[in-house]
Amino acid sequence: MLALEDLRVELGDFTLAADAAFVEGRITALMGASGSGKSTLLAAIAGFVAPASGRIRVTGADITGLPPGERPLSILFQDQNLFPHLTVARNIGLGLRPDLRLSADQRAARDAVLDRVGLTGLGDRLPRDLSGGQQSRAALARALLRGRPWLLLDEPFSALGPALRAEMLALLKETARGEGLSVVMVTHAPEDALAIADETALVSDGRLIAPVPTRALFDAPTPELRAYLG
């Protein structure tokens, strides 16, 4: 369980309240209008924004004061954060060791993760020599190699065309299931939530509404979902 207990996050004039939990082993979509606070919530969970009050717990452990690197999670952003001057293999290796001094076992783990995301043999390329979809795979690989149990994604594939996006969502789902990852994914697209998310949570009117099963939510939209869908 990733539990947000009476959490309040304040950024300038903006305030977000969250008192809800994400369940382990599930894929949860996080939806809401532009500016509703989805990215702010992920940033608070990841430790980039300190909450004004409240606690964040993962499997009971209070992580509210932990630095980002010590939290049991990885976060993936839309712009993929690949370093342009480093090869794909090195970019991915950064997930294990910032100084890139990988042991033989770590190099083997890195190569295995490259295989798993379909980038076999492309480790020596620079990010600019990969397609957009391959860059997304490389960024996902780096997050996976860190081996953290929670994966937060902030509109990770929104720059991709529909076919590639569907492919990446399928890869994400397969990987999350295969490795027992717990996923929270910000998306604007109802079809993305319906394609892979067990549950969907909405951010509306300055608060997080607890996740509910995605299919049931879209079959009988709540007023907040209706307002979002327009």
Ligand X SMILES: Nc1ncnc2c1ncn2[C@@H]1O[C@H](COP(=O)(O)OP(=O)(O)OP(=O)(O)O)[C@@H](O)[C@H]1O
Q: Which residues bind ligand X (CB under 6 A)?
A: 11-12, 14, 32, 34-40
- Smallest distance from ligand X to CB 156, Å: 12
Between 34 and 121, name the residue whose CB sits nearer to ligand X. Answer: 34
Between 11 and 229, name the residue whose CB sits nearer to ligand X. Answer: 11
- Smallest distance from ligand X to CB 38, Å: 4
- Smallest distance from ligand X to CB 35, Å: 4
Tell me how far apart the alpha carbons of residues 216 and 202 are, in angstroms, rounded to a whole number. 14
What single letter denotes the amino acid at residue 159?
A
Between 37 and 211, name the residue whose CB sits nearer to ligand X. Answer: 37
Between 16 and 195, name the residue whose CB sits nearer to ligand X. Answer: 16
Between 37 and 123, name the residue whose CB sits nearer to ligand X. Answer: 37
What single letter denotes the amino acid at residue 149?
P
Between 8 and 146, name the residue whose CB sits nearer to ligand X. Answer: 8
- HEC profile for the chain? CEEEEEEEEEECCEEEEEEEEECCCCEEEEEECCCCCHHHHHHHHHCCCCCCEEEEEECCEECCCCCHHHCCEEEEECCCCCCCCCCHHHHHHCCCCCCCCCCHHHHHHHHHHHHHCCCCCCCCCCHHHCCHHHHHHHHHHHHHHCCCCEEEEECCCCCCCHHHHHHHHHHHHHHHHHHCCEEEEECCCHHHHHHHCCEEEEEECCEEEEEEEHHHHHHCCCHHHHHHHC
- Smallest distance from ligand X to CB 208, Å: 11
- Smallest distance from ligand X to CB 36, Å: 4
- Smallest distance from ligand X to CB 13, Å: 7
